[in-house]
Structure 1
Amino acid sequence: MSRCSECGALSTGSPPTGETFDVSVAPGSRHHALLTSNEPPEESESAFIQSVVSKTDAPLARLDEQISRLRGQLKQLEDKYALVIGYRTRNRAILSPLRRIPPEILREIFSWTVPSIRDALIRGSFDMHQSPWVLTRICSRWREVSISTPSLWSRVAIDYPQSLYNSSTYSFPLLEAQLKRSQKLSIHFYGANELDSSSQTRMFQLLAQHSSRWEELSIGLTSETWPLLSALRDRLPSLTRLWIQWTGPESQSGVNSIDCFQTASSLIDFGVFNQHRFIPIPLPLSQLTRYQLDCSWEQHKRILKETRSLLEARIYIDFDEEDWPDSDETIDVLHLQRLYVSDADSRLMGQDIQRFSHFSVLFSIAPRVPFGGSASFPPAAYPTVEILQNSPSITELVIVNDDNAMAEINTLMAALTVSNLPGSTAVAPHLSLMFFGCDEENYIHYPAYVEMLQSRWKAENCALRTAALLVADGPRPDFATLRDLHTLRQEGLDLLLLNGGEARDAMEFWDYRTRWG
């Protein structure tokens, strides 16, 4: 091993040929003083330093030549290395367990890679870098499996409003390819009045050619697209779920009704967000198991009377300016399991709950009653207590606190707290599940919440087994509250505590909104 006299590098081979260059400078010399300080040279010294600099040109040129030669050799070695390692990698791939995965397992794995409806709509295009498109570009086997798996291609998500914020567009040829690869179809099509209607119309008409394969349709209608629905009449034999909304009040201009879904023989789940004004939509009511609608109470009453298999109803009273009339009428919805009631302008303030207290579904059938869920409808404590007291089959209570309901909820918790006084009885002892949630910037009185749970947990005649406290925003439970809740959990209470985004997601799940994809 030797050291290069020019650059000082160690070498295991022969030293470079040619003249050596001595870079040492004697300590104490004038040259050494100039190298180790910022002192300017005198005029006579400048000529000497320039001569020293000139002497480095030749050795530097030789070193550059040697470096270039070595770089060339290194490049050759790197190319050979890449060739060999690539060869090894290809051979090792022959032994990969992926080659032994059956196609049905691959299909299951591929199904988990498909983006959610929300992500697909936000993307605003058919993205070749995302599943399922990207699966066709990995290898021939993956391409064959993905193309032959119709479920990967069944979801069509087109959201033109998203195109207002990016330059992506929806490709007509790609949509044709996707429709050919699919069998049953889940269509999510949202138009935009602000964009060119011709491309939107063309895309929807292509989708409509395959309407016999539609199982789900979620659509945002514009003034240009709603007339296209008439072509769907008697062409929706497989449609089971339907959601309709409007892009703005101008979209509803001239619309008197939409009557193409009445003959959809498989339709069981229907929802519409009219928002601007009520649009009649005739439906096969007798077969519905779920519906969500904002309309007058008279319209809801007609639907409830005509449904035979209704399991869930979300009732919005947005187009009824009059209070509900007094009546002892009973509407039997024998299979109803979930009921949501909302009053958009708070004019009834719980009269809707009182009205439903006359319904047999709340007396003897419904196992869960959600109250609240929007700032417009604070739960009325006393009607709620009356319903719970008179309906022993209601075993689950879900309360979501909004901006206006804090006093009502605290009153409700006080009513549900079992008194220690002799002879006291519990209100609604049959409740086995009690969920309380705080949305936005508000809070539940935590000591009152803990006292309610403790009293019901220790009461002999109470059925409480499961409880939840969810806090999305606002003050979180203090140490004393958490300590007491932890004690209840140790004693056997099934207790769920969540905050932030997890709490908000859980409360949305309580809200019984239909979920797509």
Structure 2
Amino acid sequence: MFSIVSRCIECGAKSSPCDFSAIPGTPHHALLNSNDVPLESDAAIVKSTISRTDQHLAWLDREIARLSEQLKQLEEERLRWSSYQAKNRGILSPLRRVPTELLCEIFGWTLTSARESESQLARHPGFCETDSPWVLTHVSRTWREVSVSSPSLWSIVAVNFPNLDLSSSYPLAMIETHVARAQNLRVIFRGSDAHHAPNQIEIFRYLAKHASRWQELRIDLAGSLYPLLDSLRGCVPLLCRVWIRCPGHIPSPEAQSFDFLNTASSLVDTAFYNPPSDFSFHPPSHLTRYELEATLTIHRDLVALAPHLVEAHVYVTDNEESWPRSHEIIGLSLLRRLYVSNGGFLQYIRAPALEELGLHISTASRLHLESFLMRSSCTLQCLCLPDCADFSPYDFNVQETLAVLNNISSLVEFRVNISHSAHQVNVLLAGLAVSDARTRVVAPQLSCISFTPEPWLLIPFDYGAYTKMIKSRWDSPECALTRTELCTSADPGLAPFGSLQLLRENGLQFMLRTGSEATRITSRWMCTYTFDSY
């Protein structure tokens, strides 16, 4: 049993252990074990005891403080020895003997991709010493030598002025060092019309001096940057991917600033949002992907000059009434993925290799689609349905959609993007469900059906009807369904999908994707990308 050795409060010498109990049979003992009123003679004894106890408690407090300080010193000394031991063990670490080539490969995996960099820029300014590759230069001399001598680690230059603190700025010297260590460059530049104009001009002007090394450019333009684009004309021989977003209306004189795109001989992928009305683009014949908001005339001229297109996002800004009635059919023999905001565009092209199509279904667009399929003789495998008022002047027509699904026997995948209201989509769920054996099954050949319900929908997505529809098609011997996906920014939990979890155990591929992963997948469904989702 642990006991405390008492000491004399006068000299500190060891004494017998303290006795905290009164002698049985004494008045003091009786008072401690009762609520009796003490006599005057008893009170004197109690006061004397309290005084001696106070002195002993004070001595104990001093001992505790002394021992606590000693314990603190011992703990600090142990920490120093432990750190010293870790450093010595580090000398023998296998990491010190990793070949330079392997170390460089490992460093490469610490980098974010261009897509992830853009997604991160939506949350913080970027270009920070605590991010890779800069952080790698502060670990050891070897790591610094390897990282500094590996140009691929420094290829992405990402800046985000909208998220930069008003009192801050991007250090030009740091960007100069970053660019000097790179070979080819992938530039991600988010400009702002609200603030930091001098710093934006300074940084972009410096990056433009190295435009001959640009392989990718993703830029959210600010008004102050338009004049600087002129310096890029004829200076971007390696530029193969471009993403440009303009801040609304652009004065006509500024449209000439984008002529540098017509001198980008290596360009294979381009996306342009809010371009000027008189914007003109003459792509190289080897362009494989484009995404553009423009008039029908611009789109027709563009695809006619790009016979090697594999993927296209065609957002037509003018009204169909102004479109020409007589026209030459443009052949796109390599086109595999196409999104069109207006089905009328299909009457101008032939695409025998088309596999994926994003289209808003209406009576008019269904007729255009049928004519296009007959003319192209393509094996369309995937249909993606947008539900956004910005993409089409027509309402979502459920019956026309079901008719299209029934009439295209090659379709195996059906995707529905829900961004405005789930009312018609909920009606569509009922149409896709298998009610009984006597009812004709809609599009039994579909092996994958996917939806993107969002929590902010004016009329919410009916998860119960969705689950019922999937289960009915899974149970039907006529249906080929093997996979279903739900993509939503907010996790709905697993409560609505109890029966699907059971079907998953029997082989159904049920995927629930949320957050940024859902955004990226939905963007790919629509053959598009944005700063936050690409």
TM over 0.5: yes
Structure-1 residue corresponding to 2:22: 26
Contact 2:238 2:266 in 1 (8 A): yes
Structure 2 residue matching 1:287: 3-state secondary structure: coil
Structure 1 residues 77 and 499, CA, compared in 2 at 3 Å: closer, same or farther? closer
Partner of 2:263: 263
Contact 1:246–1:252 at 8 Å: present in 2 too? no
Q: What's 1:364 paired with? A: 378
Q: How does 1:52-451 map to 2 (within 5 A)?
A: 77-78=74-75, 81-82=78-79, 84-115=81-112, 116-117=116-117, 118-163=119-164, 167-249=167-249, 252=251, 254-257=253-256, 258-274=258-274, 278=277, 280-320=279-319, 322=321, 324=323, 326=325, 330-342=329-341, 349=362, 351-352=364-365, 354-359=367-372, 363-364=377-378, 366-372=380-386, 374-376=388-390, 377=392, 379-381=396-398, 384=401, 395-404=412-421, 406-407=423-424, 410=427, 414=431, 432-439=447-454, 440=457, 441-443=460-462, 445-446=465-466, 449-450=469-470
3-state SS of 1:123 partner = coil
Following superposition, the deviation at residue 416 of structure 1 comes to: 9.7
Query: How many pairs does the alignment contain?
Result: 498
CA distance in 2, matches of 1:154, 1:47: 87
Calculate the aligned-residue CA RMSD, in Å.
4.5
1:239-292: CA deviation from partner (whole Å, max 9, x where unpaired): 11101112344x6575234211101011111101107x5351423242211111
Q: Which residue matches 2:350?
A: none
Deviation of 1:351 after TM superposition, in Å, equals 3.4
Pairwise CA distance, 1:78? 4.8
Q: Distance in 2 between matches of 1:218 and 1:138?
A: 31
* Counterpart contact for 1:215–1:239, Cα < 8 Å: yes
Q: Return the offset for 1:396.
A: 3.6
Contact 2:361 2:396 (8 Å CA) reproduced:
no
CA distance in 2, matches of 1:512, 1:505: 11
Asked whether the 8 Å contact 2:156–2:187 carries over to 1, the reply is: yes
Q: 2:244·2:272 contact (CA, 8 Å) conserved in 1?
A: yes
| CA contact 2:487–2:512 (8 Å) conserved in 1 | yes
Return closer, same or farther for 1:52/1:478 CA change in 2, 3 Å cut-off. Answer: closer
Q: CA deviation at 1:366?
A: 4.9
Assess if the C-alpha contact under 8 Å between 1:398 and 1:510 holds in 2: yes
Ranges in structure 1 where 5+ consecutive residues have no aligned partner: 9-14
Distance 1:112 1:35 in 2: 74
The answer as to whether partners of 1:214 and 1:236 remain within 8 angstroms in 2 is yes
Structure 2 Cα separation of the partners of residues 204 and 293 of structure 1? 24
CA separation of 1:363 and 1:383: change in aligned 2, threshold 3 A: farther
SS at match of 1:509: helix
Q: Percent identity?
A: 33
Residues 398 and 435 of structure 1 are in contact (CA less than 8 Å); yes or no, is this contact kept in structure 2?
yes
CA contact (8 A) 1:331 1:359 kept: no
Amino acid at match of 1:156: V
| TM-score (ref. length: structure 1) | 0.78
**Residue 436 of structure 2 is aligned to residue 453 of structure 1:** no
Tell whether the 8 Å contact from 2:270 to 2:290 is kept in structure 1 after alignment: yes
Superposed displacement of residue 372, structure 1: 1.1
Q: CA deviation at 1:94?
A: 3.0
Give the direction of change, closer, same or farther, for the CA distance of 1:370–1:192 in structure 2 (3 Å limit): same
Q: Which residue of 2 aligns with 1:470?
A: 486
Structure 2 match to 1:495:
509
- Distance of aligned partners of 1:159 and 1:488 in 2 relative to their CA distance in 1, 3 Å threshold: closer
User: Structure 1 stretch 328-337 or stretch 395-404: which is displaced more?
Assistant: 395-404
Structure 2 unaligned runs (5+)?
344-358
1:180 partner SS: helix
Which secondary structure does the structure 2 equivalent of 1:293 belong to?
strand
Asked if 1 retains the 8 angstrom alpha-carbon contact of 2:6 and 2:14, the reply is no
Using the TM superposition, give the Cα deviation of residue 103 of structure 1 relative to its aligned residue in structure 2, in angstroms.
2.4
Whether the 8 Å contact between 2:473 and 2:481 is mirrored in structure 1 is: no
Amino acid across the alignment from 1:398? R
Note closer, same or farther for the CA distance 1:266–1:36 as it changes in structure 2 (3 Å cut). farther
- Looking at structure 1, the residues matched to 324 and 435 of structure 2 have their Cα atoms a distance apart, in angstroms, of 35
Tell me, in whole angstroms, the C-alpha distance in 2 between the residues paired with 1:123 and 1:160: 10
**d(CA) in 1 for partners of 2:43 and 2:342?**
94
Distance (Å, rounded) in 2 between the aligned partners of 1:227 and 1:192 = 15
Counterpart residue type for residue 486 of structure 2: L
Structure 2 residue matching 1:255: 3-state secondary structure: helix
Answer yes or no: is the 8 Å Cα contact 1:125–1:168 preserved in 2: no
Q: Secondary structure at the match of 1:283?
A: coil
Task: Render the CA deviation track for 1:145-167: whole Å, top value 9, x for unaligned.
Answer: 21122222111111111125x65
Distance 2:180 2:34 in 1: 80
Give the Cα separation in 2 of the matches to 1:200 and 1:33: 87
CA distance in 2, matches of 1:98, 1:87: 18
Q: In the TM superposition, what whole-angstrom CA distance separates every residue of 1:301-353 from its partner, at most 9, and x where no partner exists?
A: 22222211101111112344746555575332111111112259x99956345
**Normalised TM-score (structure 2):** 0.76
